[in-house]
Amino acid sequence: MAEYRVAREGDLAEGEKRVFVAGGVEIGLFRLDGRFIAWRNACPHQGGPVCQGRIFRRVIAEAGETGRPAGRRYHERDVNIVCPWHGAEFDIRTGVHVGSGLLRLAPVATLLRDGAVHVAIADEVEHGDGA
Ligand code: FES
């Protein structure tokens, strides 16, 4: 496990994100509720740069008395990111796909120390050709 200093605490305002490379791994760093959350920038669908997608509050579709769509609104707290390749949508706080709990972003540990944000990257396992 290797640790990398990636930002100062004040570099990201509430609700902002930054994508960077640390230890050869692309990472998306988000600030929500005053804390830092990091995910690998690889969509579990087909590997797209999910952390470079758009951020917005979760949309709640509302049905009328007949069951037909009657409008929509934005959730007060839930914030999602949408993968720019095919539109898969993930809760930024949990990394879980909003439509399927089977798809999840890969977490990256964050640590706030001395006013700086650090991430911990697991050492990659080298795979030989088996020869
Ligand atoms: S690669 Fe992200 S939605 Fe397909």
- CATH code: domain of residue 48: 2.102.10.10
Please tell me the predicted confidence (pLDDT) of residue 124: 65
Kindly state if the Cβ of 35 falls inside 6 Å of ligand 1: no
86, 98, 100, best to mutate for ligand 1 pocket (most atoms within 8 Å of CB): 86
Please tell me the predicted confidence (pLDDT) of residue 131: 41
Helix (H/G/I), strand (E/B), else coil: 51: helix
pTM of the model: 0.87
Closest atom of ligand 1 to 50 CA is 2
Please tell me the predicted confidence (pLDDT) of residue 128: 47
Helix (H/G/I), strand (E/B), else coil: 118: strand
Other Cβ atoms less than 10 A from the Cβ of 60: the count is 12
Kindly state if the Cβ of 84 falls inside 6 Å of ligand 1: no
CA dist 8 and 49 (Å) reads: 23
Residue 128, C-beta contacts closer than 8 angstroms, at least 6 positions apart: none
Mean pLDDT by 10 residues, the chain (131 residues): 94 96 96 96 98 93 88 91 97 95 95 96 60 41
The number of domains in the chain is 1
Q: Which domain holds residue 114?
A: 2-127
Tokens of 80: 């999602």
CA dist 74 and 6 (Å) reads: 32
Please tell me the predicted confidence (pLDDT) of residue 12: 96
Distance 127 CA to ligand 1 centre (A): 26
27, burial (CB in 10 Å: exposed 0-12, middle 13-18, buried 19+): buried
CA dist 21 and 6 (Å) reads: 9
